[in-house]
């Protein structure tokens, strides 16, 4: 993955989870179909959310959603049926009203199969874009040491 400008640096807030590659996630070439890595990223991001207290579910309860507005994915090595892959997720800090994550999917030998990056914005339940981050998210950032005050 192309390295980002320093305005949205990867933080030390991270989480790892594993996923077992399903038979139906592999294509006629015998490898994981490229679009399925988006699922693995989501598996990683949700596990991160459960670990660090910032999950989809809790957000919907608080009157907003956080749709993904940009996704990037770089494929380096294929995963195969039955592989148990490790998904590493990092929270990237941004001054904007955004949530940014970076991803790394490792094959069973510990080699990088795929990296990625997602950008989420905040929208109110009605669908309008939130121009400032929700208070709960700011609280979370304070708790994680990413914001003062």
Which residues would be at the binding site for a copy of itself (CB under 8 A)? 22-24, 26-30, 33-36, 38-39, 42-43, 46, 56-57, 65, 67-76, 78, 81-82
- 11 vs 55, which CB is nearer to a copy of itself? 55
Q: Shortest gap between Cβ of 106 and a copy of itself (angstroms)?
A: 17
Q: What is the Cβ-side half-sphere exposure of residue 116, based on CA atoms within 13 angstroms?
A: 27
Q: Shortest gap between Cβ of 148 and a copy of itself (angstroms)?
A: 32
* DSSP assigned state of 61: H
User: Which residues, including other chains, have CB under 8 Å from residue 81's CB and lie 6 or more apart?
Assistant: 21, 22, 23, 25, 26, 30
- 36 vs 85, which CB is nearer to a copy of itself? 36
Whether 112 and 76 have beta carbons less than 8 Å apart is answered as yes
Q: Shortest gap between Cβ of 93 and a copy of itself (angstroms)?
A: 21
Distance (Å, rounded) from C-alpha 84 to C-alpha 102? Answer: 20
Q: Shortest gap between Cβ of 108 and a copy of itself (angstroms)?
A: 14
99 Cα distance to chain centroid: 9
Q: Shortest gap between Cβ of 102 and a copy of itself (angstroms)?
A: 14
- 8 vs 138, which CB is nearer to a copy of itself? 8
- 116 vs 141, which CB is nearer to a copy of itself? 116
* DSSP assigned state of 24: G
- 43 vs 106, which CB is nearer to a copy of itself? 43
Whether 126 and 93 have beta carbons less than 8 Å apart is answered as no
């Amino acid at each position: 993955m192309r390295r980002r400008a320093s305005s949205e640096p990867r933080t030390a807030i991270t989480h790892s989870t594993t996923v077992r590659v399903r038979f139906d996630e592999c294509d006629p070439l015998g490898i994981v179909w490229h679009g399925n890595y988006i699922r693995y990223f989501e598996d990683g991001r949700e596990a991160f959310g459960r670990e660090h207290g910032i999950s989809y579910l809790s957000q919907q309860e608080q009157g907003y959603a956080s749709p993904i507005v940009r996704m990037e994915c770089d494929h380096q090595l294929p995963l195969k049926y039955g592989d148990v892959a490790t998904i590493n997720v990092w929270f990237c800090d941004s001054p904007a009203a955004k949530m940014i994550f970076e991803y790394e999917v490792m094959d069973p030998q510990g080699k990088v199969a795929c990296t990625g990056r997602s950008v989420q914005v905040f929208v109110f339940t009605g669908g309008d874009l939130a121009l400032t981050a929700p208070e709960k998210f700011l609280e979370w950032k304070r708790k994680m040491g990413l914001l003062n005050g």
